[in-house]
C-alpha cells in the first residue's frame, strides 16, 4: 500500500486573500497492481511555463502519466518496495511486468526493454529527486549509486532504473519538468 501523503493547497478567495483550498491526503494514486506498495502519488501538475496560480481546480486531477505535459511539470512522491519481494520472479516476468507498468503510465516508449535491468527507462525531462526514507540504488547504463535519506539526484534525461536492496520501502519526492529531447 502506498503511504498516504498530506497535501495542503493554497489559493485566493474572491477578494484576492490567501486561503487554504484543500487539506488532506492526495487522492491521485497510481499503484502498480502487480507490485503492491510500488507506485506514484501525484501532488500537483502544471501544463504551462510559466505556471498559472489562478483558479481553484485540482491540477493533479488528471490521468496519471509518468512524464509531465509538454511545457509542464509534475510533483509527486513515489515508493519502491524492497527487491527481495520480487525474488521469486524470473527476469522475463519482471521485464513483462515493468513493460505493462510503463504502458499504464502512458510511457511505453520510455521503457528500455532491451536493457538487462528491469525498470530501466528514459524520459525527456529534468527531474529533481530527493530520497525521503529508506535506501535505494540508482542504476545507469554505466554505473550505479547508492542513496540514503536526503540525498538528491538531478536526473537529466538519462536512462536509469531504481532498485531497493534494503528491507523497507523507499519513499522519494520528485519534480519532473518537461525538457527538450536529446
Residue 87: predicted pLDDT: 81
91: Cα separation from own chain's centroid: 23
Residue 13: predicted pLDDT: 94
Euclidean distance between CA atoms 118 and 115, whole angstroms? 7
107, 98 in Cβ contact below 8 A? no
Mean pLDDT by 10 residues, the chain (182 residues): 92 95 94 83 94 92 90 96 86 86 89 88 96 98 97 97 95 97 90
The terminus-to-terminus CA distance of the chain in angstroms comes to: 35
Residue 98: predicted pLDDT: 85
Produce one character per residue of 137-176: b if its CB has 16 or more CB atoms within 10 Å, e if not: bbbeeeeeeebeeeeebebeeebbbbbbebeebbbbbbbb
Global confidence as pTM = 0.91
Euclidean distance between CA atoms 157 and 122, whole angstroms? 6
**Angle of CA points 131, 137, 142, to nearest 5°:** 130
Residue 21: predicted pLDDT: 96
- What stretch of H or E contains 94? helix 91-104
Euclidean distance between CA atoms 98 and 113, whole angstroms? 9
Residue 71: predicted pLDDT: 96
Output Rg (C-alpha) for the chain, integer angstroms: 17
**Angle of CA points 65, 37, 4, to nearest 5°:** 80
Amino acid at each position: 500500500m502506498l503511504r498516504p501523503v498530506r497535501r495542503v493547497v493554497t489559493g485566493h478567495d474572491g477578494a484576492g486573500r490567501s486561503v487554504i483550498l484543500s487539506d488532506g491526503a492526495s487522492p491521485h494514486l497510481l499503484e502498480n497492481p502487480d507490485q503492491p506498495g510500488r507506485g506514484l502519488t501525484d501532488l500537483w501538475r502544471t501544463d504551462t511555463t510559466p505556471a498559472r496560480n489562478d483558479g481553484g481546480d485540482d491540477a493533479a486531477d488528471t490521468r496519471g502519466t509518468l512524464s509531465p505535459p509538454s511545457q509542464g511539470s509534475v510533483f509527486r512522491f513515489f515508493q519502491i518496495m524492497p527487491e527481495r519481494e520480487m525474488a521469486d520472479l524470473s527476469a522475463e516476468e519482471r521485464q513483462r511486468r515493468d513493460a505493462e507498468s510503463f504502458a499504464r503510465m502512458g510511457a511505453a516508449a520510455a521503457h528500455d526493454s532491451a536493457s538487462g535491468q528491469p525498470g530501466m527507462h528514459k524520459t525527456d525531462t529534468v527531474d529533481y529527486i530527493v530520497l525521503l526514507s529508506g535506501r535505494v540504488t540508482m542504476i545507469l547504463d554505466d554505473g550505479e549509486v547508492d542513496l540514503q535519506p536526503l540525498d538528491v539526484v538531478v536526473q537529466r534525461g538519462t536512462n536509469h532504473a531504481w532498485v531497493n536492496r534494503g528491507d523497507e520501502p523507499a519513499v522519494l519526492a520528485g519534480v519532473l519538468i518537461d525538457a527538450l529531447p536529446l
